[in-house]
Amino acid sequence: MALDLDKVRQIAERVAGSSGLEVVEVEVCGTGKHRMLRVFIDRPGAVPAADRPDGVTHEDCSKFSREFGTIVDVEDAVPGGSYVLEVSSPGLDRKLTKAADFERFCGQRVRLTTREPVNNNRHFEGKLESFENGKLVLDLSAARKRKMRPKEGAATKVEIELGNIEKANLVPEI
């Protein structure tokens, strides 16, 4: 019997919802005896910042792990023997995957890679200025790394469609 990741995610969302948390990501790594089920949880509305410890606590992760692990085992949602369950926050450099993530983190610095080039580039870093109608606007002048800033005379803002984003992460403000 194969692992049904959608079923595991549904269980995770059910448990998280009962505790006022959200599931950011569910992934399975490894095979056989070395399988690891990772669940990243967060507190909705918490915007990460190095100087503000909002978001998920160790206690949240511990409680979620106990409840989720029990249900997963009872429902045999991870068939085939043993696995290691890891529950944590998404971290300061959390992934951004869905429209709600981009709406929530407007004003934050992000780093992203596109599937198709935009202005002859696939790698961008800057301040997420806005997200509307499936498109985000990135202020490239806010890039931390010099090589990611636009060259003099080049546009300082770029519009990117959500469907063209291959990978996106927050860049911690330290």
Hunting for tokens 């909002």 — which residue is that? 54
Q: Crossing angle of helices 58-74/5-18, nearest 10°?
A: 130
Gap between the Cα atoms of 6 and 77, Å rounded:
10
pLDDT tens, residue by residue, 72-125? 999 988 887 789 999 999 988 999 989 999 999 999 999 999 999 998 899 999
Alpha helices for the chain (secondary structure H): 5-18, 58-74, 99-104
Q: What's the predicted TM-score (pTM) here?
A: 0.77
| CATH number reported for the structural domain that contains residue 150 in this entry | 2.30.30.100
Average predicted confidence (pLDDT) for the chain: 87
- Same-domain check for residues 80 and 28: yes
Gap between the Cα atoms of 169 and 174, Å rounded:
15
What is the tally of structural domains in the chain? 2
Range of the domain at 22: 5-88
**Tokens describing residue 68:** 């989720």
